[in-house]
Structure 1
């Protein structure tokens, strides 16, 4: 009976310590608090007369602490974005279904990334081992890309979204739906990706709709504005040149004025959204620097652009 009680006591103590283990929704600080709590418990036990049972508890506490420390390190760099609703997948296709109320997820990610310049998201979608497409890819990567395309269309920089697929055994419900098929993780942007993003920020072509004396702001333009602000904070000596381009319809002098007017509207937008106007200059090249011929409407639309150069 004594041995049974000892064993039961060890079990209870170990179960209590197990409650300290990593919860995927916890933040970095709370995990560190757990590590400290375990260390304090170890210290209080060590200061008392130690019998075999306490030695076992201390040993298991040390293992738990080591696991938690590893998770603290991981959680500082990678953690899930938690939503009130879930992404739904279906056994019949590769689309990701969203309840109407869940469309807020796009705005949530948009705001998060614009407020956390050094982060990117990873869309991880699961698939069953037999869910293979004719091109030999799988349902998981197709689902992840389906969500990515929604976010890019919404205005998020595609370089800050990674698609990932994980094979997993799970069951669809009787209608063929599964509500835990997609997870969105946040992680630090790698150095190679940071270099790519900064290169694109420093020389970008924008296609913006203009109506009379105003431009039509988009989420993509706002994203780029946030990126410029963060870029300029890092590169204090650099300045922005905004160049307006047009097609060849109308006379050259008028096109020059139109290009300048549009460049000024973009400069005004940047300034209203927090970019120092003293670091912005504008110019127009009108119709003089086409990137393609002006023979078709599609070609002319390509030539009606704003060029942003930061150097």
Structure 2
């Protein structure tokens, strides 16, 4: 091999060795590929499962079941079946409340801001609390010993099937013997609804009733009053405009009242506390000579009996 070839080989070896040493010492490669961002993998959130907890810190009640009363996302109907642990717990609660009429069970229904409220109540939480209240009543607990509330909880996570496990919380309290504030509150509700009844205008062909915020608040107050006042009931009165004949309008008014009754029943107002009647076209509140007036006359009115 010639001296020139040896020289060139030495230079080449020197370059290769220097490159290797450089890469090792710098912990990198001299030739780099363009950095490719790795996809961010977000782990699915764990399903929320609230247990059935009932504890009276001023008494002996202490219930704890891993199961609870469950609902579909945006739903207001308790899912079946209900576990034996829960039914046994409610039976124990009944015995406890029967032993002290001053004990009150507070039910707070929970909901998330992502859910759709198609109920008659101001929020899904209150609608769910009323569903649970009706279940308790069906098990023999007096509605006069139950208070219902609604609360936003955006930390709740449903399962992949869209089921919310236990979107409710419970609290036991004791009312003072001389506390009459709840009676005063009920008297105010009666006075308000008597002076300003719940009025709904709708087309009977519609599958749902779209209530305003003010109307939803009235529904919640009516429901509370019916729960707390023994023998209380509501009357739903159907009205029409004067289009057509009076006899047909009397039937149409009854159909509207019955439609509203079925809507209230779906929203956990007991069927036995609802009376329906029709006034047909006999009690207009606006001029039937105009379309706007006729639209106002096509209504149902909800009043305390």
The TM-score normalised by the length of structure 2 is: 0.38
Relative to its length, the structure with more helix (as a share) is 1
The TM-score normalised by the length of structure 1 is: 0.38
The higher radius of gyration belongs to 2
